[in-house]
Every structure is written in structure tokens, then in C-alpha cells.
Structure 1
Amino acid sequence: METRQQLDHQQNLDENQRETLEKYDNESRFRVFDNRKIALVVAGIAIILSIYHLYTSYFGTPPTLVHRSFHVAIVLALIFMLYPPLKKAKRNTLPWYDAILALLALSTSVYIFMEYDSIVNRGGLPNTWDLVFGAILVLLVLEGARRVTGWGLPTLAILFLLYGLFGREMAGIFRHRGYEWQDIVNFMYVTNEGVYGTAIGVSATYIFLFILFGAFLQKSGMGQFFNDMALAIAGQTRGGPAKVSVIASGFLGSINGAAVANVVTTGSFTIPLMKKIGYKKNFAGAVEASASVGGQILPPIMGAAAFIMAEILGIPYSQIALAALLPALLFYLGVIVQIHLRASKEGLKGISKDNLPAVKQVMKERGHLLIPLLFLMYMLFFSGRTIIYSALLTIIVTVIIAMIRKTTRMSLRDILEALENGARTALGVAIACAAVGLIVGVATLTGFGLSLANAIVTLGGESLLLTLMFTMVACIVLGMGLPSIPTYIITATMAAPALVQLGIEPLVAHLFVFYFGIFANITPPVALASFAAAGISGGNAMRTGFVSMKLAIAGFIVPYLFVYNDSLLLTNTTFGEGVLVVFTSVLGVMMLGTAAEGYFMTHINPVLRILLFGGALLFMNPNLMQDVIGFSIIAVVIFFQWIRAKKEGVASLRAI
């Protein structure tokens, strides 16, 4: 039972893994107070924030500006109490200056609450106090974002603020009439377009509740259930630990939407297991990184990004989840195909059955925890109730269902800890959304988004392919070092309009930019998920990043294909057409993975790999003639590989 003991032991991060998480994930560098009273105050504020959001999800929110300002103020206060200003600063005490910053953060919401009627009556004409508190808010948001997300996002926000101030000095299409500091501050503070814009609006509703839902699931033991079930299903197969990593990380990534944290928590036991059966360091780290990032494109939750997309596009969530389902499954199929072929090529085995849990036993112990997820899917797809109300009920159902067995039952202390953990986990996304509000606010004021879209279209000329490629590069650059949700909001504002201008459906355009925005996490030179995985595996960070990209090759190609043929999104198709699309695209991805790995029964020569790659693209763009060509390529490759394997004395298809 060595493997089971190893897994149980590594559920709690050891010191080295904690250091790895803190190195690549700023959100993990929080304070742990020696003073119990301060710790209780911080925990109490976090719990109050969670209870407030649960309350407003059922009884409704106060006026929009008041609601969003309260959300931002509490988030900022918690950040200044929990996150030190420097990496090497002490983390066991609360300095006086951070206490003052927390109070200043609260004051920005108190002012709006007390002066709300006057602010509305002034109709956008600020007085002195509006500007004072607005300036305080802007500075606090920048500093809070720096502490939690690092320098990348606040630097981008500062550049946009400078662009808003001095854009009149620029030449060309990005020039605008320019705005004064007071105009920008007023727009950011007392309107629903700046800091309190759509990004923070979604954070204060959908995102917070689903992060809270994830906290309750984790507290009930859902993470353990996913790990054990993945082990039971795939652990014994060829290259089993790698497949376990893909399954567990995919499910967890869909719920928590945090790629780096997912890499460290899941990878802390899957990566050592992969190395133990013979996978190389870089490959083991790349498997975990690509699987963790892919969770954010996997329905039903997609790391909460689907709900933001629904809000921005004004379409039902169910339509987005359905459209995203097949591409996400194709992504994971591509990863698993390469994992399996690598194991076949190197003669790697799975984990002994004696060291694995049984499916029946896992279901008996924790299978009831699937009920909240099934209930959530029912509420989202069939109940007709709002997303917020669905999330609230699902949290309640989670607590009730967890009571069924003693091993998952939550005490009052567990519930309070889930409320606290949910609020603390939401801080990173919330402050990122607030900082994104500064960026989007300036883009709205100046028309930068339209200017960038025109620039991308101009660079692409009349070529849709070139425009897509420029958009892909822009999304990867914009997504470097950022969480998935703010990445999507930025790319949706900056890059998606370029594709819409070319006549591409908005949903297709938004999915395209979302894919490449989150894949920045595994794309060097700033591939944080891959770097974190390399930190655990002991591999080379850059090489792990490039191997991650190879494993995720389907994710880099499928977005191009659904732009050219949206049947891959299962939209505007009949049932028969949908079945054909699924069949041909699955074959295409299997060919793509085979071409990437260069192995089938035995090594594939370069000419056949190129042929397979071309055939894969033909299959994933359904057409009768292309399908015939694709089947012919498959037949040719199988024939040549069988002949070559026979000559080399390699086992035939049983080795695959």
C-alpha cells in the first residue's frame, strides 16, 4: 500500500511544495498571525464577506454602486491585512501602516454609502471629496493588485492610466483627445464603468459564489474524491499516474480556476508518481501543467469564466457551456493520447492494483459528493433559475449532502472555515478584476479597444488567418502572469472586437481569445503553470513549458478550426451532423496526438508524421471528401507502421 500511503501523506503540502507555490503564485504569500485576536478579526471579516454575498444572492443587492464598492472595500481591507508589501517582510504581525490602509479601503465604501443620493443627483459632476476618495481607491487598487498578483497587472493598469492622461500626445490611430486626472478618477470611482464596472460586478456575484462553492466542496473532501476516483479508473493503465493527473487536474481546475495552485496541490503527488514509473522530469511536469490549465476551459464551471462570458455577451450560460464542451474534451483527448503513446514507446507500466483504491469503495465512501455537482448542472441547465440563486442552493445542498457520511460531514467549525477560505481564495480574482476595471475603464473612455481591433485587422489585411494569428499572439502576451478571469476580461475587451469586425460570431470570437489568454500559463517565456510544475518535478522550467505546449497542441489548433467551422461548438447543427462532427474531430485529435508524439507501434518517420498532421486537420474540419482523404491517411500510416513494427520485432497493436 505504499502508493496510497504516499498519496495520503502528500495531501498536505510539505515545506518545499509550499515554497514552490509561493514562488509562482503570489496569492499564497499571506500572513499567518501569532496574535490570535488579530487572526480572529481577519477571519471574522472574511466570514462576514461570505455571509453578505450569500445573503444578497437570495434577498437581492443594494444599489449597484453601493454593492460593488462594499465588495471592493472588504477585499482591499483583507488584502492589506493578509499580504505584506514585500516578499521578505514578516508574516506573523500586522504593521500599523497596513492597518491604516485597510481602514482607508473601508472608507471608500463608507463614503459612497453615506453620499450615494448626492452622488446620483450630481450626475457625474464630482466634488472635492469624490476626487479625494476616488484617488485613494485607485492607488489602493494598484497597491493591492501588486501585492497579490505581482507587478504585471498593476503595471499594465498604470500604463493605461498614463495613456488616458497623455494619449493626446501620441500619433496615429491610438491618439485620443486626452483626459484630466480628475476626469479619470471620477469615471473610475462614481460610475459603473471603472473600478466598479462589469469585471468587479461579476466578481461580486457569480465568481465569489462559485469560489465559495468550491471551498465547501474542498472542505467536504471532494478533492480527495477526485484523486481517488482518478486513481481507481486510470491508475492501473499504461502510464497510469499521468492519466490520473489529467483526470484529477481537469476536474479540480474546472472548479477552482487557479492553474498554478492546481499544479502544486495535485502535482504534489501525481508528479512524483509519474517520475517513479519512468516518465522524464520535464514530461511529468508538463502533463500536470497542461492538465491544470485545461480545467479552465472545461464545463460545467470553467473556473467561473463561462459566467462572465454570459454576462458580457448577454446569452444563456447553457449555450456557452455546450459550445465549450467538445473543444475541451478534444483538448484532454489530445493530452491523453500523447501520454499513452509516450508510455508505450518507453515501455512504462501503471500502478499495481494492490496499491490502488477500488472504484466501488471510492464511490461508497465519497460518491455522494457528486450529487451537488449534478444538482448544480440541473439548476444551470434545466431549472430556469438565475445563476446566482443556483449557486446559493448548490452550496446549501453541498452542506446537506456532506452530512450523509461521517468522513465528509462538516461541523460548524468546518462551515466557518469554508466561509473564511472562500473569501480568502476570492481575494486574488477580486483585486485582479478591480485592476482590470482601471484598464477597461481607460479603454472605454479613449476607445482604445476599437483602435487595437482596427490595428489587428489592418495588420492582418484581408487574411482571416493572419488576423487570427496576430490575435493569438496578443492574447498570449496579455495573459502572461495573470489569473484566467482577468485575462479573459482583458482579451475580450482588447482582442475579441477585431474578430467580430471580420464577421465572426461573438461567442466564437470570445472563446478564441479565452483559449489563448489562459494558454499563456504554459507558453514560454512566462509560463507560470509550467514553471511551478518544473519546480516540483526538478525539471528545466523552459523545457517543461515547451513540452506543455506540445501536449496542449490540440488546444492551440482547435480554436482556429471552430472559427472556420463553428460546428465544432455544436451550434447550428442537427443531431446527425453533431454525431459526425464528434466522430471526425475525435479521430482528428488522435491523429494529431500521434503525429506530435511520433509513435504508433514503433517510431513514425518524419514524412508520415507530416502526413498525419495534415490528415488530422482535414478530419477536424468536417467534409465528405476530406474525411475520405483522412481515412486513407490512417490506413496508409497503420499499414506502414505495421510493416515496420513487424520488421523490428516490436509487439503489434497490443502494445498500444
Structure 2
Amino acid sequence: MAYLKENWRKIAPGLITITLVVFQLLAMTLAIIPVMAHRMIFLALVLLVLFIRVPKNAYEKITNYISIPLLIALIVYATVNSDRISTRIVFVEKLLTIDKVFGMILIVLVLEATRRLAGNVLLGLVAFFMAFGFLGPHIPGVLRHSGFSIRTFVETNFMSSGGIFGAPISAVISYVFYFLLFTSFLEYSGGGKLFIDVAMKVAGRSRGGTAKASVIASGAMGMISGSAVANVVAVGSLTIPLMKNNGFDGESSAGIVAAASTGGQLMPPIMGAAAFIMAETTGISYGKIALAAALPAFFYYYGIFAQVDFYARRHKLDGLKKDQLPILKESIKKYGHLMIPLFLLIYYIGAGTSVMSAGLKSTALLIVLSFLSRETRMLPKKIMQALTATVAGLPAIAIPCAAAGIIISTVISSNLATKFSGLFVALAGGNIFISLLAVMFVCIILGMGMPTISAYIIVSMLLVPTLIELGIPVLAANLFAFYFALLSFVTPPVALSAYTAAGIANSDPSKTGWKAFKFTFAGFIIPFVFAFDPALLMEGNALWIAWSFLTTGVGVWILAGAISGWYLTKASRFEMILGAAAAIVLIIPTPVTDIIGAVCAIVVIASSLRKSKKLVLNKEF
């Protein structure tokens, strides 16, 4: 007993991990757990993961000791009442006192967990919407609504498949968990090392090769990791020291890694959790979303790659020597077999297999194949580490989703989305470009203070309907919001990816944030391209898709040069302004604007080429 008292914090994570994993497998394979009870127990277990962590202060210590027994009681309540909760008719059958008590307990615990994980911005936003819901009858003007009582609030958020237990949590349970499982096993088996070695071999010897390899490695790692911060740590810890040795300053090294790692949530097949929520809320298959995101993700990385190349030109940075590169044959021999489960996962998604089944089958194959090499072998200790990592990553995803669910319940019950959409259309005057700019700014501002998931969910509820009303396709409108919610990770003053990279590089966090923002800026035109024309989402005529690919590539490259202040040589102010104008004109998907943009780009390149030739002649004489 004394041992348990002293070591419970070490034992508890393992017990919760095993319980949650077994619970998820049972729910999927045997389907014996009713939906509502499943969601309640799952969220309670995730909250337990958070509340057993070492408290930061006395307040958290006290709330932990109160919360843990309450969550265990909630699990017992959900288990005992699972059939009644799942079969009762919402808003018709009587709400029992015990339902109200546990409903309020869960809501309070979700709010406290939100404060700990996402900070006061998201908590304040949830509190604002709760107040808006309760005070509805007293709000003047067009935003006035009937409001709700404590009973309806608990009914909506706790006893129905909306609110806290709505689509976002459903996506975490049905999709995100199984992809987290696969990525954790791939990481602990060593599969990510191959991506970095291949990137180094492909780009290491080129101009500024270490940074280019870092961009490629981050994109490849992004295929298996939807976490920007985790991507920074995995890639940056290896590549940032190499970049600094190669001549890149600390802020630029960290900024490049932060920018490239952030794009991981755009990279198919495993995108960020928000992509799964998009699939759940829009009804569009995850496979279609992943396919549509492929070209925007490519151009995002192409924009960073182009800026890195201009930076290397400007600072005359060489690549690595041949003997500094990894031996690719050895890497493939050690880790190559781990790519088979990844290819299988991509195949399953493309074939329309359920995400749960695809994730589990790919993970099982990965475990089996890991025994082909001594370096990758998944022995029991590694398996437990991978499982623990999976469960440890859930609070950062599930809790913001639960908090966003409270906001969603208010938006739906007050019909706020329709009212807000009408007001927004009126203010924008029906202008699509102004509406897109407004959505972009809202996404970035919201994303500064909360996780990408929360920012995307809120914008998708309030502003995406406006874009759809203006004629932008559902998928394009949602991806637009998702894209800019993601870019908040490298947008100062709160740039989480940049701050993580700055810690690795020992660079100034604020300067690193601005550098990361600069390296992503060429990619800012991409969402506008696919919002105006879904060809970049691979929809429509094949010839027009190819043309859109070409013009977007030119636009991203010319804008990257304008931002860097360098093309073939140092760019004049005229070249920078004309280059930026060319990029903007190329956004508009018409033959006339594309030709104008192309002509402007040719003028910029010709001007830079002429100056470059003059410099060569001057050096010769």
C-alpha cells in the first residue's frame, strides 16, 4: 500500500494507457459499447491522463485530487447507465438529478482542462459563448435568441451526441486515435530516421543543402505526423545544428524548421486532427480530403524551398561534402521495410477502407515487419512506449475538441451561424476576395491563442458558411480555413512551432517567429488560388489542372524571390514590387490574368538576368 501511495503517478499512466487502448479495440472490433457511453468513457479517460500529471502549483494539485475520483465516478456512471443514455429521447425524457450532476461535473472539468492545455484565450472564448447562450433573451438586435437554461445546456452538451460529444470528439475517437497509434509505432520503430537520411542524400550537396534537406525531411515526417511541434523536435534536433554549421544563422535555421514542420498538418496521408474533423462535419471522405490537400501541401513546401534557395544564393552557402552525407544503402537496409505499412495505409485510404481498420491493420503489419531488423524490433518495452505516447498525445487534441463542442452547441441553438453569415456577407458587400481576406485574418488571430483544431472548428461554424454562400465549394472553403488556422503556428506574437525550434537552436524566440513567418509567406497565395478555382484541389479538367499547377508554381517562386529580395542577383525595389504583383495576378484563375502575371514574371527574370550578366562581366574585367 505504501508503495502504491509513493509510486501511483508512475503506475497510473500505464494503467490508463492499457485501459484506453483495450477499450478502443473492444469498441471497434466487438461494437458492444453504446455510442454515448463510448464517448463519455473515452473523454473521461483522456481527462484522467491530464489530471494525473505533475501539478504546476498548489491550485492544480488540489483540483487534481478532486478531479481524479470524480472522473472515475463518471466512468462508473456511464458504464452503469450506458443503455439508458443511448436509448433515451433527448429533450423528451426526463433528465435525472444524477445526469445533471455528472453533466455539470464534466463541463467544469473540461473548462479546467482547457485552461491548462490551451490557455485563457480558448477558455475565455468558451465562457463568452456560454454567456451568450444563457443571456440570449436579453441581447438586443439581430443577435437576440431564446437562450437556454441549465437543464437544456446540460442536455445539449452531456446527454446528446452534440455539444461536447459532437462531431469533433467523434472524429478523435473514430479517426485520430488510430492514426496517432500508427505514427507512434512508426516513430518508435525508427521509421522517421529514413526520411531524414533520404532528404540529406537528395538535397545535402546542393546550395544550402542542409536547410533544403530539412524542408524535405519535415515534409516527409509530416506524412506520418500531424503534430507541428513533434515534427520540429524530430527533425530540428538533427538538422538545426547541421544548418548552423553550414552557415545559416540560428534564427533562420530554427525559422526554416518551424515553417517546414508546421506544414506537416497539410501533408497527406496523415494530416492534422482538424482534417479528420473536416471529414466528420462535411461528410466528405477523408481520402478525398487527403487527395485534395496534396498539391496545396506541395506548393507550401515549394515556397519554403524556394526561399531557402534564394537565401543560400544571397549568402553564398554551399552544400555538404560527399563524405558528410549518410550512406543511404545502410539506412534502407535498416529501415526500408517500415515503409511497407505506410504504403499500405495510403492504399487503404485510397481504396475507401475505414480509417479505423486502415490504421489498425497498418500498425499490426508494422509490428510484424519491425522484427526484420535488429534496429527496428518492437519488443514489449517499445510497444508500451508507443502506446503510452499515443495516449499521452490525446489530451492536446481531444480537450480542445470538447471545448469547441460547447461553442458549437451555442452556435447551433442560437442560430448564430446563419445570422453571422448574413451580417458578414453584408459587410463584405458580396466581394469574395474581401471575404477571404477577412476569414484569413480571423483564422490567424484565433489560431494565435488556441490549437489549430479549435480555431478551424470555430471558423468552420461561423465563417465558412459565408464562403460557401458566395459560391466557393464546400471542400475549398473548409481547406481555406484549415490552411490559415494552421499558419498561426508560425505567426507572431504566438508561434508555438517557432518557439520550440528556437529552444533547439538557442536563438531569440521572437526573431525566430518572424523568420518562420517570412519563410511561409510565399505559401499565403495558395489557399486563394484554390478558393477561386478548385483545379489546385485536383477537381475539374485535367488540362486546366496542369495549367493551374504551372501558374501557381510560377507565382509561388516569383513571390518567394520578392520576399527574399533576391532572384539571380539582388532584387531592386522595382523587381520586388513587380514580382509580388505578378504573384497576386496569377492567383486569379482566368487566361487573361495568367498571361499578365506571366509577362510580369518574365520582365522580372529578364531584369535580374541582365544585372547578373553585368556583374559577371565586371568581375571578368
Regarding TM over 0.5, the answer is yes
Counting only pairs closer than 5 Å after superposition, residues 428-443 of structure 1 correspond to structure 2 as 428-443=396-411
| Paired residues of 1:249 and 1:295 also in contact (CA < 8 A) | yes
Partner of 2:80: 114
Letter in 1 for 2:80: M
- Output the CA distance in 2 between the equivalents of 1:651 and 1:268: 43
Residues 133, 37 of structure 1: alpha-carbon distance in 2 compared, 3 angstrom cutoff: closer
| Paired residues of 1:481 and 1:528 also in contact (CA < 8 A) | no
- Output the CA distance in 1 between the equivalents of 2:428 and 2:509: 33
- Output the CA distance in 2 between the equivalents of 1:350 and 1:164: 59
- Output the CA distance in 1 between the equivalents of 2:328 and 2:586: 35
Give the alignment partner of residue 469 of structure 1, picking from 431, 437, 453.
Answer: 437
Structure 1 residue 438, shift from structure 2 partner: 1.3
Partner of 2:12: 41
Letter in 2 for 1:644: K
| Paired residues of 2:341 and 2:362 also in contact (CA < 8 A) | yes
Give the alignment partner of residue 425 of structure 1, picking from 377, 386, 393.
Answer: 393
| Paired residues of 2:27 and 2:38 also in contact (CA < 8 A) | no
What per-residue deviation string (whole Å, max 9, x for no partner) do you get for residues 477-506 of structure 1?
222233333332222122211211212211
Answer yes or no: is 1:240 the counterpart of 2:225.
Answer: no
Structure 1 residue 422, shift from structure 2 partner: 0.7
| Paired residues of 1:80 and 1:98 also in contact (CA < 8 A) | yes
- Output the CA distance in 1 between the equivalents of 2:319 and 2:118: 38
Residues 468, 95 of structure 1: alpha-carbon distance in 2 compared, 3 angstrom cutoff: closer
Answer yes or no: is 1:347 the counterpart of 2:325.
Answer: no
Partner of 1:360: 329
Partner of 2:500: 532
With the length of structure 2 as denominator, give the TM-score of the two structures.
0.93
- Output the CA distance in 1 between the equivalents of 2:617 and 2:356: 57
Residues 61, 463 of structure 1: alpha-carbon distance in 2 compared, 3 angstrom cutoff: farther
Residues 96, 470 of structure 1: alpha-carbon distance in 2 compared, 3 angstrom cutoff: closer
Letter in 2 for 1:640: S
Structure 1 residue 528, shift from structure 2 partner: 1.9
With the length of structure 1 as denominator, give the TM-score of the two structures.
0.88
| Paired residues of 2:430 and 2:470 also in contact (CA < 8 A) | no
Letter in 1 for 2:572: N
Residues 276, 636 of structure 1: alpha-carbon distance in 2 compared, 3 angstrom cutoff: same
Structure 1: gaps spanning 5 or more residues = 1-32
Partner of 2:71: 105
Partner of 1:550: 518
| Paired residues of 1:508 and 1:566 also in contact (CA < 8 A) | yes
| Paired residues of 1:58 and 1:392 also in contact (CA < 8 A) | no
Residues 557, 638 of structure 1: alpha-carbon distance in 2 compared, 3 angstrom cutoff: closer
Structure 1 residue 518, shift from structure 2 partner: 1.1
Structure 1 residue 308, shift from structure 2 partner: 2.0
- Output the CA distance in 2 between the equivalents of 1:116 and 1:59: 16
Partner of 1:600: 567
- Output the CA distance in 2 between the equivalents of 1:526 and 1:63: 41
Root-mean-square deviation over aligned CA pairs: 2.3
Structure 2: gaps spanning 5 or more residues = none
Answer yes or no: is 1:591 the counterpart of 2:591.
Answer: no
| Paired residues of 1:210 and 1:304 also in contact (CA < 8 A) | no
Letter in 2 for 1:589: V
- Output the CA distance in 2 between the equivalents of 1:61 and 1:221: 35
Residues 114, 308 of structure 1: alpha-carbon distance in 2 compared, 3 angstrom cutoff: same
Structure 1 residue 183, shift from structure 2 partner: 1.9
Structure 1 residue 623, shift from structure 2 partner: 4.2
- Output the CA distance in 2 between the equivalents of 1:183 and 1:331: 44
| Paired residues of 2:371 and 2:377 also in contact (CA < 8 A) | yes
Answer yes or no: is 1:292 the counterpart of 2:261.
Answer: yes
What per-residue deviation string (whole Å, max 9, x for no partner) do you get for residues 511-534 of structure 1?
011111111111122222223333
- Output the CA distance in 2 between the equivalents of 1:470 and 1:628: 28
Letter in 1 for 2:68: A
Structure 1 residue 561, shift from structure 2 partner: 1.6
What per-residue deviation string (whole Å, max 9, x for no partner) do you get for residues 395-454 of structure 1?
111111212111101102211221121111112111121111111122222222233323
Partner of 2:425: 457
Counting only pairs closer than 5 Å after superposition, residues 249-648 of structure 1 correspond to structure 2 as 249-382=218-351, 384-573=352-541, 575-648=542-615
Give the alignment partner of residue 72 of structure 1, picking from 25, 40, 43.
Answer: 43
- Output the CA distance in 1 between the equivalents of 2:509 and 2:389: 30
Partner of 1:11: none
Letter in 2 for 1:567: A
Partner of 1:16: none
| Paired residues of 2:529 and 2:589 also in contact (CA < 8 A) | no
Letter in 1 for 2:114: A
Residues 123, 623 of structure 1: alpha-carbon distance in 2 compared, 3 angstrom cutoff: closer
% identity of equivalent residues: 36
Q: Secondary structure at the match of 2:224?
A: helix
- Output the CA distance in 2 between the equivalents of 1:651 and 1:200: 65
Partner of 2:24: 53
Residues 494, 647 of structure 1: alpha-carbon distance in 2 compared, 3 angstrom cutoff: same
Structure 1 residue 629, shift from structure 2 partner: 3.7
Structure 1 residue 627, shift from structure 2 partner: 4.3
Give the alignment partner of residue 162 of structure 1, picking from 122, 131, 143.
Answer: 131
- Output the CA distance in 2 between the equivalents of 1:426 and 1:392: 17
- Output the CA distance in 1 between the equivalents of 2:594 and 2:525: 18
Letter in 1 for 2:550: F
- Output the CA distance in 1 between the equivalents of 2:618 and 2:552: 28
| Paired residues of 1:57 and 1:392 also in contact (CA < 8 A) | no
| Paired residues of 1:286 and 1:548 also in contact (CA < 8 A) | yes
Structure 1 residue 651, shift from structure 2 partner: 11
Q: Secondary structure at the match of 1:639?
A: helix
| Paired residues of 1:581 and 1:620 also in contact (CA < 8 A) | no
- Output the CA distance in 2 between the equivalents of 1:310 and 1:538: 39
| Paired residues of 2:182 and 2:359 also in contact (CA < 8 A) | yes
- Output the CA distance in 1 between the equivalents of 2:146 and 2:79: 33
| Paired residues of 1:232 and 1:357 also in contact (CA < 8 A) | yes
Q: Secondary structure at the match of 1:599?
A: coil
| Paired residues of 2:444 and 2:484 also in contact (CA < 8 A) | yes
Is the deviation greater in 96-105 or in 273-282? 96-105
Q: Secondary structure at the match of 1:302?
A: coil
